[in-house]
């Protein structure tokens, strides 16, 4: 049974209330932590109410139930600002990017109904309504729904987010630790501009304070080609895996086989296409300052020690 607390012992009476979707997840956790540091009362909307226990005793919890707009609006009542991290990585079961778009529209409606003034929404670099990739297309549709809502907004567009709980870079390191060969799709010359999760959280919380409508790329100070990024991780963790270049279809097949081995979805065909289409870089100035290279060095012993499973996080209770 989901607990819906109304009193948060961590903040002073009268503190403003902000709502974060997914505060027991990856970026939502750091947004919630930063809000708490600023003395803000935090409520999270989540389907995983028993997540991260250290945060759990400090924030309020309500269901992220898109089928019940009235309940969502009640959970958003009294909040000035909502930080939305909700999205799905890939289609699975009854949920795909189209349903994630509709769900997010429900959240936006509920926020407007509840009198929320501002939404800080986490999107993706280079979304486009014309994209053949449902992830990037869906993100563009959601951005448009936010722009045409009554809420003031900050739309933040990260490319790749790194930090202790990250999945993508961690699992590259995991593969480099375990397998004698690591395959790059194509030439590996397409770019990535990762941002540290705490820099993203800082940007989100700062953006929550203003009422100006903004759309900004959330990217770190370093841009890598995918091949250089894999080399960097390989060198930092001391892997001896041989890096080879193969056609994208080969990587998709290898990912599918590995997915069966680890009982997860390691990388989808669309994710490989998004990567290779150079969509994970920005033309804007960096908004994050933390160096991935430095962070990796500091976390060389732990990065990729354990496999991080998307299905474990989001599909199994």
Contact 304, 242 (CB under 8 A): no
Question: Interface with ligand NAP includes 75 (CB under 6 A)?
Answer: no
Integer angstrom CA distances of residue 167 from 59, 81, 97: 25, 28, 19
Question: Interface with ligand NAP includes 309 (CB under 6 A)?
Answer: no
For the bound state, the minimum distance from the C-beta of residue 273 to ligand NAP, rounded and expressed in Å, comes to 15
Question: Interface with ligand NAP includes 28 (CB under 6 A)?
Answer: yes
Question: Interface with ligand NAP includes 168 (CB under 6 A)?
Answer: yes
Q: Which is nearer to ligand NAP, 12 or 219 (CB)?
A: 219
Select the residue interacting with ligand NAP from 11, 18, 19, 25 (CB under 6 A). 25
Q: Which of residues 131-160 bind ligand NAP (CB under 6 A)?
A: 158, 160
Select the residue interacting with ligand NAP from 8, 11, 21, 255 (CB under 6 A). 21
Q: Which is nearer to ligand NAP, 63 or 250 (CB)?
A: 63
Binding characters for ligand NAP, 95-124, by CB under 6 A (x = yes): x--------------------------x-x
Select the residue interacting with ligand NAP from 38, 56, 245, 314 (CB under 6 A). 314
C-alpha closest to that of 43 among 69, 12, 22, 13: 22
Q: What are phi and psi of 105, to 5 degrees?
A: -65, -35
C-alpha closest to that of 160 among 205, 204, 124, 131: 124
Q: Residue 39: left if φ>0, alpha if ψ -120 to 50, beta else—which one?
A: left
For the bound state, the minimum distance from the C-beta of residue 125 to ligand NAP, rounded and expressed in Å, comes to 7
Contact 25, 51 (CB under 8 A): yes
Q: Which is nearer to ligand NAP, 244 or 302 (CB)?
A: 302
Write down the residue that tokens 């990250």 correspond to: 166
Question: Interface with ligand NAP includes 304 (CB under 6 A)?
Answer: no
The residue of the chain with the least Cβ separation from ligand NAP equals 25
Q: Which of residues 79-98 bind ligand NAP (CB under 6 A)?
A: 85-88, 95
Q: Site residues (CB under 6 A) for ligand NAP?
A: 21-22, 24-28, 46-48, 64, 85-88, 95, 122, 124, 158, 160-161, 168, 314
């Amino acid at each position: 049974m989901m607990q819906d607390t109304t009193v948060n012992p961590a903040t002073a009476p009268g503190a403003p209330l902000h709502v974060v979707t997914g505060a027991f997840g990856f970026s939502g956790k750091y947004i919630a932590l930063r809000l708490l540091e600023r003395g803000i009362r935090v409520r999270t909307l989540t389907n995983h109410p028993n997540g991260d226990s250290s945060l759990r005793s400090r924030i309020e919890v309500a269901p992220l139930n898109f089928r019940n707009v009235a309940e969502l609006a009640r959970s958003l009542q009294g909040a000035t600002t909502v930080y939305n991290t909700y999205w799905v990585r890939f289609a699975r079961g009854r949920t795909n990017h189209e349903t994630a778009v509709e769900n997010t529209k429900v959240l936006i409606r509920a926020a407007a109904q509840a009198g929320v003034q501002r939404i800080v929404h986490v999107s993706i670099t280079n979304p486009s309504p014309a994209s053949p990739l449902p992830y990037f297309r869906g993100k563009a549709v959601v951005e448009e729904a936010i722009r045409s809502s009554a809420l003031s907004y900050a739309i933040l567009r990260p490319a790749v987010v790194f930090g202790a709980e990250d999945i993508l870079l961690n699992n590259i390191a995991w593969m480099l630790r375990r397998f004698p060969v690591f395959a790059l799709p194509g030439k590996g010359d397409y770019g990535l501009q990762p941002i540290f999760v705490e820099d993203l959280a800082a940007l989100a919380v700062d953006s929550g304070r203003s009422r100006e409508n903004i759309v900004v790329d959330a990217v770190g100070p370093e841009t890598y080609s995918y091949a250089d990024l894999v080399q960097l991780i390989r060198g930092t963790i001391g892997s001896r895996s041989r890096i080879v270049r193969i056609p994208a279809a080969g990587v998709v097949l290898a990912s599918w086989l590995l997915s069966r081995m680890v009982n997860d979805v390691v990388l989808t065909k669309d994710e490989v296409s998004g990567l290779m289409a150079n969509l994970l870089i920005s033309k804007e100035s960096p908004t994050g300052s933390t160096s991935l290279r430095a962070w990796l060095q500091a976390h060389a012993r732990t990065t990729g020690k354990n496999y991080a499973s998307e299905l474990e996080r989001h599909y199994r209770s």
